[in-house]
Every structure is written in structure tokens, then in C-alpha cells.
Structure 1
Amino acid sequence: MSADNPIDFPGELHRALERLDPRPGLAFMAALCERLLPNHLLYAELTGDGDARGVRAVMDLIWESLTVREARIDFERQAEKLAACEPESTDDSFGTRSALEVTLALSSCLDVLRGSAVGAPVEVSRISIGGVERYIDMVEGAQWADDSEREARLAAHPLMADERAFQQAVFDELEAGALDRERLKALRRLGRNDGVSNLGLSLEE
């Protein structure tokens, strides 16, 4: 992703997201969730905790609901299934929190599909940004002298530049034309990001 930042991030982006209709808003969220997904899948593979297959199934159904407008899916039931996919661990480790963030973001998508989620695209955007911030802080934060240096380092970090570029690219794709089947495929490819998550993690590593 390019480090170019044509908008005030995340302020202007969030204001633009608030103006989106529900369906393009959901498509934005789905693309971000797709990119978050490896964090949960990797956690499940390494720890045996969480339900990788169940989370993937919910993700697939969210895309199906966008692609097949007449699809009949019981989203209340899917929300119950998603809750069962959450890691059972009660620790506050970074891996556990990252896996939980995936289920939280997917839950926001299901809330939209159930008609009960004001501001959900902004919330999912914040989840992804927050995960990147915590990861950088965990890896490099001990080196920073104060909050001013922390803020500057976070803003300039390559992972945060990639996050800015990714969310911008998803929004630009939504703005490029009608949200038809081909555009949804493009958004999903964008979200898959060659299997690399917002934290730069991949199952293939």
C-alpha cells in the first residue's frame, strides 16, 4: 500500500463513513473484517483456542448477504454462532485481544444486517486502527520518551501508513461506482490483502 494520505486520517474518513448508506457501509466493514481475519485464524492455529472455521463461515455469509440481495440468512443465529467462536482464554494477551477484535468487528457487521447499528463502519475502522496502534506500542513503545513522541512515532510508522492507505483504498473503491457483484469481488480481493492482516501477520509465515 502507498503511504500517501489524501485525507485527514481518520477524522475526515470517519465523517465520510457516517454519510454512507447502510449497504456500502457494510461493504466497507466487510473489507476491513476480511483483512483482520488472519489475526484470529493465526491465534486459533497457534493456541487451539477460538473457532477459525466458524469465524470464516460468518465472514462468508456477510459477503453472501451483500452479493445475493434476496439471500435468506438468520443473522440472530449467526450472532449466536459468532459468540461461540470467541477465544475462551481469559488472559489479556495481545493475541487474545486481537482475536477478540475480529469477532467484535464481525459482530458489528451482523448488527448492521439486523438493522441495529448506528455508526458501525466508524467503529470497525477504529477497531482496525486500534489494533495497529497496540501492536506498534507493544513492539516499540518502550523506546519512546513521552506521549508526544509516541503520537509522532505511531503516525509515521509503516504499519499505520499501510492502514491509512488500505482504508482509503476501500473507501475509494466504494466511491468509484455502483456496488455491483464485480465491485464486491474487488473489495473482497482488497480485503484479503494477499493473506496479510492489518498487523502485517500471515498464516504463511
Structure 2
Amino acid sequence: MRNPIHKRLEHFASWQHLTFMACLCERMYPNFKLFCQMTEQPEQAKTYQNILNLVWEYLTVKDAKINFDHQLQKLEDIIPDVNDYDFFGVVPALDAAESLGELLHSIIAGSTLEQAIKISQLSLQTVATLLETEQERELLENDLKSAVEIEQELDVQWQIYRILNECEKRNVDLILDLKNEIRSAGISNIGIEITQ
């Protein structure tokens, strides 16, 4: 599904891409956490959250020294294998883990645009997969475009984009505000709610 936001992201600086990606990963975290609760792996949810916290630290603390290669290894150890589980929850959890992986890769490699677009697509894909699972059929682009859940996901992505777009230069307060707003809402892209 084409998302007009992807064209606009081309004009962003790398800190804006990284903040955009971190926001989307933060929004997908409840999906990962719920999966960990259902499979009784609380440590894995903690690992995800810790890695994401380090990304926020990297974005907001000047000269923060973080070994992201090491964090990527930790993440790879907790990525669920869809073949090991027979319930839907593994899919959004995998999307969340893959998104965080893309974010870490972009920090390590220093290329951010492609990953920002990929995470934006992954987040939409999670919503689309849920709708297809609920309706037990493959949805066409028009079906997806008119789905309220897809509209909501696009709205959130645009909202994050607009806030970042209005910022001329890296603004630590703004980055922290975005993080805190998404975290305190505690609702994922597919409506999974967690209390902190």
C-alpha cells in the first residue's frame, strides 16, 4: 500500500528519521509485550524496552556511548519464530522486533531514509494483517484504504511527521515529548493496550 508520507520523508535529516522510527517502534512495543506475557517470557519484553530506551538516550543525550552492535545481537536472540507458535500474536510481535532491528541497523550503518520507510510500511502491514486475519480474506488496496484502522495508523504517522517537520533543528525536548506521549498512551498500532 502506497503511503504518501514516504515521499515527504526524503526531506528529513537523519535525527528526524531516527525519531520517527523510534516513535513507531514505541507504538509497536505493546504488541511485543503482550506476546511475551502470553508466552511467559517477561525478560524478552524487558530486553526490547531496554534497547529502545538506549535508542532514545542516543537521540537525546549528547555524546552517549552505546554499542549498538551488541544491542542488535541481544535483539536477535529475542526475535520470535512464527513457526514455533500457532496464534496470531506472534505476527505483530515479529513486526515489532523487525522494526526495532531496522532502527538499530540504521544507527549502525548511518543510512536512515530506507529504514524509516520500511518501518512505516511494517507498522501499516501489522494493521493490514490483523484486518485480513479477522476477515479471513486477502484485502485489496481499496479495502485497506477505506479501513478505519488503517486510517488511524496513517493519521498517527502523519502526526509524528508533522511535529518533526516543524522542527528546524534537533530539539531534545520535542523528542522526549514524543516518546513520553506515545509511551503514556500505551496503545499499539493494532489497539493493544498496556499499562506501564
The Cα offsets for residues 168-187 of structure 1, whole Å up to 9 and x where unpaired, read as 00000101223312110222
Amino acid in the other structure paired with 1:198: N
The percent of aligned pairs where both chains have the same amino acid is 26
Q: Structure 1 residue 193: deviation in Å?
A: 6.2
The CA distance in 2 between the partners of 1:114 and 1:27, in whole Å, is 15
- 1:179 matched to 2:174? The reply is no
Q: Could you tell which deviates more after superposition, 31-40 or 176-185? A: 176-185
Query: Which whole-Å CA distance do the structure 2 matches of 1:60 and 1:179 have between them?
Result: 18
- Contact kept? 2:12, 2:165, Cα under 8 Å: no
Equivalent residue, structure 2, for 1:83: 76
User: Mind listing any 5+ residue stretches in structure 1 that lack a counterpart?
Assistant: 1-8
1:48 aligns with 2:43: no
Distance 1:193 1:135 in 2: 24
Write the deviation string for residues 52-102 of structure 1: whole angstroms up to 9, x where unpaired: 010000010000000013000001101111111222563464211211111
Give 1:16 deviation, angstroms. 1.3
Q: C-alpha separation between the residues in 2 aligned to 1:53 and 1:16?
A: 33
Instruction: Measure the CA separation in 2 of the matches of 1:91 and 1:152.
Output: 33
Task: Verify the 8 A CA contact 1:33 1:191 in the aligned structure 2.
Answer: no
Amino acid at match of 1:127: L
Moved more, 105-114 or 52-61: 105-114
> TM-score, normalising length from structure 1?
0.85
> Which residue of 2 is the match for residue 138 of structure 1?
133
Determine whether 1:115 maps to 2:109: yes
The 3-state SS of whatever aligns with 1:72 is: coil
Letter in 1 for 2:126: G
Q: 2:194 aligns to what?
A: 203
Q: 1:190 to 1:115 in 2, by over 3 A?
A: same
Once the two structures are overlaid, the 10-residue window that deviates more, 96-105 or 163-172, is: 96-105
Question: Which segments of structure 1 move beyond 6 Å, counting only runs of 4 or more?
Answer: none
Match of 1:102 in 2: 96
Q: How does 1:64-75 map to 2 (within 5 A)?
A: 64-75=57-68
Question: Secondary structure in 1 aligned to 2:109?
Answer: coil
